[in-house]
């Protein structure tokens, strides 16, 4: 008997985020699965999510899920850590038979597979909403049983990345200030628990007190989980490779930033204006 995903293997993979940051996930998915079509949605009209309430983030996320379902995606990847923290279960319920993967579960799984030994100390950096939700802590406890989790919210890193100040002195000082929270913690691993943070990997590595701390990039982790899922369920596309973007506002600005994030030109960006009317 064939599964839903086998029947729908030529359909696109839907990836969504509060804005531009989820392109770090799209880039990792493109690298891991080059023959898949990708449909990316960035909620540029309502970004940032990381400072909003759980109820608001959940409502937005369900509207986007409906949009992706209307577009006929075969799988949904929640690229946004804040959405994964606030609305994962609601999205899974809404998506029904469409598989849903999220960056938090993928990051926790990557930690459990990285052989850190018993009761590792894991640092998590993320938005205020992600840190307050403790979703990473719960996912890590579920995967590892015993783990010490130390969290730090880094709210200024999202606007710095959006501004393109990735290697700017201000970014270096900001990263240093936040990472100081881990100065006496002997971290075995640090999870980059926000879409934008992989852009600061170089700076973070420079200021981390120990060079032995493994850096876990949730974008890489979810791309690996998606590949594993498609392998296990026979859902690979072997003929695709398209990359279509949809945004809720300012497509030109998205294009400028997206090309910087992806390091390649983007041609097709459509605007979606009626998200709220989809229920």
Residue ranges in contact with ligand DGL by CB under 6 A: 17-19, 21, 47-50, 80-82, 127, 130, 158, 194-196
**Of 102 and 188, CB closest to ligand DGL:** 102
Q: Which residues lie closer than 8 Å to 109 by C-beta, 6 or more apart?
A: 143, 221, 225
Helix (H) or strand (E) holding 204: helix 201-207
Three-state secondary structure string covering 108-175: HHHHHHCCCCCCCEEEEEECHHHHHHCHHHHHHHHHHCCCEEEEEECCCHHHHHHCCCCCCHHHHHHH
Verify cis geometry, omega within 30 degrees of 0, for the bond prior to 48. yes
User: Active-site residues: which are they?
Assistant: 80, 194
Q: By Cβ distance, which residue is nearest to ligand DGL?
A: 50
The b/e string for 149-175 (b: 16+ C-beta within 10 A; e otherwise) is: bebbbbbebbebbbeebbeeeebbebb
**Of 11 and 196, CB closest to ligand DGL:** 196
**Of 11 and 88, CB closest to ligand DGL:** 88
**Of 42 and 235, CB closest to ligand DGL:** 42
């Amino acid at each position: 008997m064939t599964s839903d995903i086998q029947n729908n293997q030529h359909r696109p993979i839907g990836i969504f985020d509060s804005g531009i940051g989820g392109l770090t996930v799209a880039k990792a998915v493109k690298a891991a699965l080059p023959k898949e079509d990708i449909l990316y949605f960035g909620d540029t009209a309502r970004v940032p999510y990381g400072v909003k309430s759980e109820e608001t983030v959940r409502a937005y996320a369900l509207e986007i899920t409906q949009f992706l379902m209307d577009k006929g995606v075969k799988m949904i990847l929640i690229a946004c850590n804040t959405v994964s923290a606030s609305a994962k279960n609601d999205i899974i319920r809404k998506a029904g038979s469409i598989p849903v993967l999220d960056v938090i579960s993928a990051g926790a799984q990557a930690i459990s597979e990285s052989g850190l030994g018993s009761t590792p100390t894991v640092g998590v950096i993320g938005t205020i909403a992600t840190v307050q939700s403790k979703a990473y802590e719960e996912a890590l406890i579920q995967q590892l049983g015993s783990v010490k989790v130390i969290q730090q919210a880094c709210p200024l890193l999202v606007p710095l990345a959006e501004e393109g100040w990735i290697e700017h002195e201000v970014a270096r000082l900001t990263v240093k200030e936040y990472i100081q929270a881990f100065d006496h913690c002997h971290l075995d691993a640090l999870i980059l628990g926000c879409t934008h943070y992989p852009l600061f990997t170089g700076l973070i590595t420079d200021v981390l007190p120990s060079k032995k701390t493994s850096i876990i990039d949730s974008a890489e982790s979810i791309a690996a989980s998606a590949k594993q899922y498609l392998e296990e369920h026979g859902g690979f596309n072997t003929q695709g490779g398209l990359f279509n973007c949809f945004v809720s506002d300012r497509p030109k600005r998205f294009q400028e930033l997206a090309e910087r994030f992806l390091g390649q030109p983007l041609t097709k960006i459509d605007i979606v204006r009626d998200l709220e009317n989809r229920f």
